[in-house]
Structure 1
Amino acid sequence: MTHSTSRFITAQDGLRLHARDYAPAGGGNDRRPLVCLPGLSRNGRDFHRFALLVSQDPVSPRRVVSLDYRGRGLSAYDENPANYNVPMECGDVIATCAALGIDEALFVGTSRGGLILHVMAALRPDLITAAVLNDIGPEIEAAGLKEIRDYLAKRSFPASFTDAADTLEAIHGPTFPALARADWLEMAEAIYREKDGQLVADHDSKLVDQLQAIDFSKPLPTLWPQFELLARKPLLAVRGEHSRVFSKETLARMAAHGSNVETTTAKGQGHAPLLHHPELFSRIKAFLGHL
C-alpha cells in the first residue's frame, strides 16, 4: 500500500509549510505528478482517498502531492493574518513545487485552490500542464460565500469525531445526498484535529477575518482575464449539483470558452464535491489519463 510522506518546506518569507507526498505504486515516476490544492479552511487530508486512488492505480499510477496552506494542517500559522490571501498562497504553492522538484504538474484546485490556479496561470503558466477546477470558476456567488463565512465564524468544538460527523451531516446533508455515513466520518477527521484534549478545526481561526472584511454590498471581483490564461491549458470544470458557490451559468460560460474546457456535474453533491466518489473519480481519471 502506498503511504504519504510528510514534506516540510520553507516559504519565501521563512514560514514552514507542509505537504503530503504520495509515491506512485510500482514506479510511475515518469508521469507528471498531480498537485492537489484544498479549499479555504481545509487541508491536504481532504484529498487522502483521492490521492490513494491516483497513486495506487494498477495501470497508470502517478505521484500525488497535497498541500496544507499556511495556517492550515501541519503548516505554521502566520503572525500576520493579512497574509492569508490568494496571491501569497499561490507563492507558497510555487515554492512547494520548487522544493519538491516539480517543474510541471497536473493540478486539482478545490474552491480556494481553484482561485490560486487562476493566479498561477498569470504568474507561472509553465507549471501547469492541465487542471481540474473543483466547484470553482472565475465568478463566485455572493450568497454561497456568505454561507461559508457564517459557517466558519461559528466555531464549534465537538465532543468526538462522531459528534463532528453528526454536525457536518446536519448542516451539509441537504446538499450532499450522495454521501454515506463513512463519508461524513472521513470529512470530520479531515477537518478537525485533537488539541489539548479537545477537537478543534484544523486551521487558524483568523482566516475568517479575511471573509469578514468583504463588502457584500458591492459586486464580488471576478477572474475572467485570468481564466482566459488558464483555459489555454486542458481544463475540467466540476460543479456540485447543489452548489450555491459555483453557478450553472458560470459553468456554461466557461464551457463556451473553447475546446480546451470540459465540464461535468457531481450528482448529489454540493460545495465542494468529494473527488473520490466513483462516478466523479472515473470522469477525472479519464480526463487526466492521456496527460
Structure 2
Amino acid sequence: MNSTVKRFEITASDGLTLRGEVFGDRVAKGTPVLCLPGLTRTSRDFYPLAERMAGDPDNPRFVIILNSRGRGPSDYDKNPENYNVATEANDALQVLSAAGVGEAIFIGTSRGGLLTMAIAAMRPNVIAGAVFNDIGPVIDSMGIARIKTYLTKAKPVDSWEDAVAFMKMANFGHFTSLSDENWEQFAHMSFRDVKGKPQKDYDKAIAIGLEAVDLSQPMPTAWPQFLAMSHCPVLVLRGENSDILPKHIADEMVERHPDCQSYEVEGQGHAPLFLIEEVNDRVLAFLRETDAKRAAHVPIATPALLNEDEITYIE
C-alpha cells in the first residue's frame, strides 16, 4: 500500500472496542469517505478501493473503514441481540464523531448499505453522498437463503487451498469472471491468517439473527430510509449475477431518487469486489462528481412520494 494507513480503535457507548483503518490525510481536499462492509465481512474488502481514493492525484480524500462489532479485530458482543442494524449504525456514527468528520460519503456493501439507510433516517445531514454496493430497499429472499445456508452449515477450512475451494462453492455461478489470482485474493479477504492457516473472521453468533429470518414471509422494505437521502447523490452498484439486489429494484431506485445512478458489473455476483478496477474506476468517478456538485451547490429535485403501504421499517 502506498497511501498512509493507520489503525484506530474507539470505545462504543456500551464499552465494546471497535477497530478499523484510516487511509490518507485528515485534511485532504476531497469529501471524506466512510466504508461499511457486509454482514460477516471486514475492512479488508475495501483496501484496494481505499488506496485508490486516498491516493487520487486530483482529489485525494480521507477514508475510514470500520469493522462492525463482532467482525475482524473489533470486539465480539456477549449479547448477540446487539448484532442489529440500529446498534451498528450508531457505532458508525460514533466513529465519525471520534474522527471529527461531520459529513461523509458513505460506501456500504450489503449490510453496510442497510446501516447507511438507517443512518439516513436518523441523521440524514451526515451523508454527503452514498454508494450502495449490491443492496437496496428491497432484498431478494433467495439470496438471504443462500447466505443463511453457508453461514450456518459451513465447516471449518484447514488450508488456504480449502479456503479458495470454499469461496468457489459458496459463490458458485455468481462470480464468473474471476481469475485464479482473484479467487485467492477473495479468500484472503474473507478469512484471517492465523499462523499460516485461514480462520473465520467474525463472531459465529451473527448467524443467529439469520436463523430467525422466516423466508416464507415477505422481506421488510426500506424505501423511507433510502429516500431520506434525496438531498444527496447516490450510486447503486449491482452485480450482474446478484441474488440480493434484483435488477428491477436497482432500476426503481434510480427512478424514485432525484439524483441516483446505477452501474451493473459484468460477471460479478453479491457483492461486486473492489479487486476489480472497473468497479473502483466507477466509484472514483462518482466521488469526483459528488464533490463537484457540492462545490457548485447543485440543487436536488424533489423525490417521488412513498405509497402508504411502503411505510415499513428495517430492524
Is this a same-fold pair by TM over 0.5? yes
Aligned runs of 1:179-198 on 2, under 5 Å?
Answer: 179-195=178-194, 198=197
Partner Cα separation in structure 2 for residue 181 and residue 54 of structure 1: 26
TM-superposition CA deviations, 1:252-285 (whole Å, max 9, x none)? 1111114311111011100000134122222211
Q: In 2 relative to 1, CA 275–58 (structure 1 residues): closer, same or farther, beyond 3 Å?
A: same
Structure 1 runs, 4 residues or longer, greater than 4 Å off: 195-198
CA contact 1:193–1:201 (8 Å) conserved in 2: yes
Which segment is superposed worse, 132-141 or 224-233? 224-233
CA distance in 2, matches of 1:234, 1:152: 34
Contact 1:68 1:74 in 2 (8 A): yes
CA separation of 1:162 and 1:142: change in aligned 2, threshold 3 A: same
User: Mapping of 1:22-61 within 5 angstroms?
Assistant: 22-24=23-25, 29-61=28-60
What TM-score, normalized to structure 2? 0.88
- Structure 2 match to 1:160: 159
State whether structure 2 residue 18 is matched by structure 1 residue 17.
yes
Contact 2:29 2:60 in 1 (8 A): no
In structure 2, what is the Cα distance between the partners aligned to 1:213 and 1:267?
33
1:199 deviates by 2.7
Q: Which amino acid aligns with 1:16?
A: T
What is the aligned residue count? 289
For the residue of structure 2 that corresponds to 1:175, the secondary structure is: coil
Q: Structure 2: where are the runs of 5+ without partners?
A: 292-315
Q: Distance in 2 between the 1:9 and 1:186 partners? A: 29
Note if contact 2:160-2:197 (Cα within 8 Å) is conserved in structure 1: no
Give the C-alpha shift of residue 3 in structure 1.
4.1
Give the TM-score taking structure 1 as reference length. Answer: 0.95
RMSD: 1.6
- Inter-partner Cα distance in structure 2 for 1:13 and 1:288: 34
Q: Corresponding residue for 1:280?
A: 279
1:219 has 2:214 as partner: no
Gaps of 5+ in 1: none
- The answer on 1:209 being equivalent to 2:212 is no
CA distance 1:59–1:162, shift in 2 (3 Å)? farther
Deviations 1:111-167 (A, max 9, x none): 000001111001111211000000000000011111111111123322222321232
Deviations 1:218-261 (A, max 9, x none): 11110011111123310001110000011011111111114311
